[in-house]
């Protein structure tokens, strides 16, 4: 079969590139399940530690505890040397690479490696954030869960239970989402028999792109640019007329309301201290959905997870420049689970490509 007879799908859209038992993403009906459990139920009754163990092992461990790990001295030294202008995503990617170099995490990946790397990442990010502000890193408290411990290492004091619970819920909904760009990147790297740290570092690189992991911070900026709710509709219309994207709306997979957005909206509504901001977000969402339906009557565009992720992350007091990297902390569970799954029945991921360049020719005289 020649190249012109082969099916070609730009961006691999609609191409089934593998099988997974980790998450079922039902875009048409707006449903998401981790190993069969609905995301709403996991947020309501679970914790990030239990969800991570579910993804890694397939088992629901009711007393699972996942704490932040002490950052490696070598990683702290590397982070100290980075310019303060470096983005948090670049710093996290560098720290993960250092972790891999120091621990020597060889192929195949293990559950123990997945736990260790997922526990290390929040401490590394918190250390970078403090070093950037001229402060010393804080040692983790092993009695705290991962989300609570991350906030503690950022600020040096235990967070309010509501804030810790809100961030834990965000970690749950961000943990896994099928063959998205960063997860697929991680599986490609693992398929070459590379190590889990290299796979996660590559995934962070993919997530760094604003079309994948940067949207929550842009949602905050977008809501500030709109001004008051009364000005929102004019701002939205002008944005769409310029052909620009409205951040927090639309998804490659979901044609119905993103179930992760629904779960996080409930969490955001329960947060103290963000009432005015949340009221504005809810009002703007209603306007945006109405205008989007007018502009795209044949293509449903609904609220996605980034919209209410912005509300939750704003509510727990994180700086917007930490939003993408905090998303990466959550996604460590899914990335590493996919590394484990890929390694179980590994096949090198190596798709074909269609050549569209010049025909064979000779160099000029």
Q: Which residues are CB-contacts of 29 (< 8 A; sequence separation ≥ 6)?
A: 256
Q: Please list the active-site residues.
A: 251, 306
230-237 CB contacts, 8 Å cutoff, 24+ apart? 232/283, 232/284, 232/287, 232/288, 233/287, 233/291, 236/284, 236/287, 236/288, 236/291, 237/291
The token duo for 295 is 């502009």
3-state secondary structure 141-208: CCCCCHHHHHHHHHHCCCCCHHHHHHHHHHHHHHCCCCCCHHHHHHHHHHHCCCCHHHHHHHHHHHHC
Please say whether the beta carbons of 302 and 21 come within 8 A.
no
Contact 234, 130 (CB under 8 A): no
Q: Are 258 and 251 in contact (CB under 8 A)?
A: yes
Residue 125: alpha-carbon gap to chain centroid: 14
Decide if 89 contacts 110 (C-beta within 8 A).
Answer: no
DSSP 3-state assignment of 303?
strand
Dihedral sign from CA coordinates of 118, 123, 129, 132:
negative
Of the candidates 125, 141, 110, which has an alpha carbon nearest to the alpha carbon of residue 75?
Answer: 125
Contact present, 167 and 151 (Cβ < 8 Å): yes
Instruction: Print burial letters for 302-334: b (CB count within 10 Å at least 16), e (below 16).
Output: bbbbbbbbbbbbbbbebebebbbbbbbbbbbbb
């Amino acid at each position: 079969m020649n190249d012109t007879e082969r099916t070609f799908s730009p961006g691999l859209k609609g191409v089934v590139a593998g099988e997974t038992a980790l998450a079922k993403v039902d875009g048409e009906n707006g449903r998401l399940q981790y190993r069969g459990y609905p995301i709403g139920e996991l947020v309501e009754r679970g914790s990030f530690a239990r969800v991570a163990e579910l993804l890694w092992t397939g088992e629901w461990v009711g007393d699972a505890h996942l704490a932040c790990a002490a950052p490696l001295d070598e990683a702290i030294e590397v982070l100290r040397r980075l310019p303060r202008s470096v983005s948090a995503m670049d710093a996290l990617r560098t720290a993960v690479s250092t972790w891999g170099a120091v621990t020597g995490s060889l192929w195949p990946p293990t559950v123990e490696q997945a736990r260790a790397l997922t526990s290390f990442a929040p401490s590394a990010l918190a250390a970078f954030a403090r070093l950037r502000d001229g402060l010393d890193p804080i040692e983790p408290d092993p009695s705290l869960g991962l989300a609570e411990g991350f906030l503690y290492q950022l600020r040096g004091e235990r967070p309010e239970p509501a804030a810790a619970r809100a961030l834990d819920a965000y970690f749950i909904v961000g943990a896994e989402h099928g063959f998205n760009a960063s997860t697929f990147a991680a599986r490609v790297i693992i398929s070459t028999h590379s190590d889990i740290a290299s796979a996660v570092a590559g995934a962070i690189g993919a997530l760094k792109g604003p079309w994948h992991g940067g949207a929550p911070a842009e949602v905050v900026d977008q809501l500030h640019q709109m001004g008051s709710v009364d000005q929102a509709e004019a701002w939205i219309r002008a944005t769409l007329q310029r052909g620009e994207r409205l951040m927090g709306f639309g998804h490659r997979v979901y044609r119905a309301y993103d179930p992760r957005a629904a779960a996080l909206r409930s969490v955001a509504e329960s947060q103290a201290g963000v009432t005015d901001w949340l009221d504005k977000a809810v009002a703007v969402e209603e306007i945006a959905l109405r205008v989007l339906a007018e502009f795209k009557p044949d293509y449903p565009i609904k609220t996605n997870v980034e919209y209410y992720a912005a509300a939750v992350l704003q509510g727990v007091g994180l700086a917007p420049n930490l939003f993408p990297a905090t998303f990466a902390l959550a996604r460590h569970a899914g990335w590493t689970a996919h590394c484990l799954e890929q390694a179980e029945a590994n096949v090198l991921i190596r798709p074909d490509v269609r050549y569209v360049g010049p025909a064979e020719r000779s160099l000029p005289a």
